Structure 1
């Protein structure tokens, strides 16, 4: 069985992988800026540095809530916060259109983590653009989350699907599949579950998380 330490190490590996590109671009940009004397090229370098810095900051903010303990344990999150984080992850020039239909004004911390991580999986499935529809509602004491990624040539690693439904052997977990495994653990520990369906047109993922008594919906 994968220990919490092993899972944390795999997730850290994934976060480092995702941050390597924008931070590497920052390093390269600084090197170019140091050797560049043409005013126009220096301005272009500064523009690229600004873009890379924003991408890095947006990813860190997303990871802080999707994987960390931002705001403390057991607290609820204003639904506008995960929306802003997903929008930041998409970026201003994204080819992916966001359809946000989250009903509750606040989400529990576990529901927020599941929603953000499923959203990231959905976004990764749209390398050629498309639409990312994110929905959530409270029903019968539980938060129901639905993510639909639709677009041309959906890209979805079967290992991620196996991690979501629990059929992937734990000794085969990797940095790529660890977040999906974490989502399933969060949902099942809350007394709920997660599922997905894949077609040529769309990847649909859903989760149900019963709310602890007294939680804000």
Structure 2
């Protein structure tokens, strides 16, 4: 069921929820940096100081990777008609995945593409990661004409499944469903897809999870 027009979320509410999502993602590594700095300031044990520096370095890299990813995934990089390099999208996705259990496989041309397609692709990667909480592989593909691409994420791993929030909110929000910061991301993903005129679908393909966005024939529903 397409619920995209059933109960729209206000722009202010959605912005607040997405900000909460970004803050949630960055709080953990930033907190680890603070803990490491406290150890450096209060502990004279050389081994503890070395461990603290390792923690700070690793956490700073994670925080930077998450922020760089969020900038392209949720932000407004470039002008309204800007194009972004798919290799840049690959780089920020690889940076994000370094701190995750899943491995990334990238099958997309070395080319520029409309920035909102990049935004959609990165959001689909987040959903693909959520589909395999125990780890596995997230395979990314961009096919067809770059002016009207087909974007596909295929996630394989133990206990792969359609994330609950994706099942409930990718197509929009019904009046009886409460949208929180966790659910806002798949809801936002659906909004981006529909704004581009793409149909987006999340499904199981055997034991693999697949989320795909593609253009539909003129006059067909999204």
TM-score (norm 2): 0.86
1:151-207 deviation line (CA, Å, top 9, x unaligned): 001254322222112354486111111121111112112222211103672210001
Q: Which residue of 2 aligns with 1:213?
A: none
Whether contact under 8 Å (1:187, 1:209) holds in the other structure is no
Q: Which residue of 2 aligns with 1:144?
A: 150
Structure 2: where are the runs of 5+ without partners?
1-7, 217-222
Is 1:26 aligned to residue 33 of structure 2? yes
Whether contact under 8 Å (1:30, 1:49) holds in the other structure is yes
Which moves more between the two structures, 161-170 or 197-206? Answer: 161-170
Q: Which residue of 1 aligns with 2:138?
A: 132
1:7-61 deviation line (CA, Å, top 9, x unaligned): 1111111111111111111111111121111112211110110000000000000
Which moves more between the two structures, 185-194 or 160-169? Answer: 160-169
Mapping of 1:1-217 within 5 angstroms?
Answer: 1-91=8-98, 94-103=100-109, 105-139=111-145, 141-154=147-160, 156-166=162-172, 168-169=174-175, 172-198=178-204, 201-208=207-214
Whether contact under 8 Å (1:154, 1:200) holds in the other structure is no
Relative to structure 1, the CA distance from residue 184 to residue 57 in structure 2 (aligned partners, 3 Å threshold; closer, same or farther) is: same
Relative to structure 1, the CA distance from residue 201 to residue 168 in structure 2 (aligned partners, 3 Å threshold; closer, same or farther) is: farther
Q: What is the CA–CA distance in structure 2 between the aligned matches of 1:95 and 1:182, rounded to whole Å?
A: 24
The number of equivalent residue pairs is 209
Q: Which residue of 2 aligns with 1:214?
A: none
Relative to structure 1, the CA distance from residue 23 to residue 155 in structure 2 (aligned partners, 3 Å threshold; closer, same or farther) is: farther
TM-score (norm 1): 0.88
Structure 1: where are the runs of 5+ without partners?
211-217
Aligned partner of residue 122 in structure 1, secondary structure: helix
Deviation at 1:94, TM superposition (A): 4.8
Relative to structure 1, the CA distance from residue 22 to residue 159 in structure 2 (aligned partners, 3 Å threshold; closer, same or farther) is: same
Aligned partner of residue 158 in structure 2, secondary structure: coil
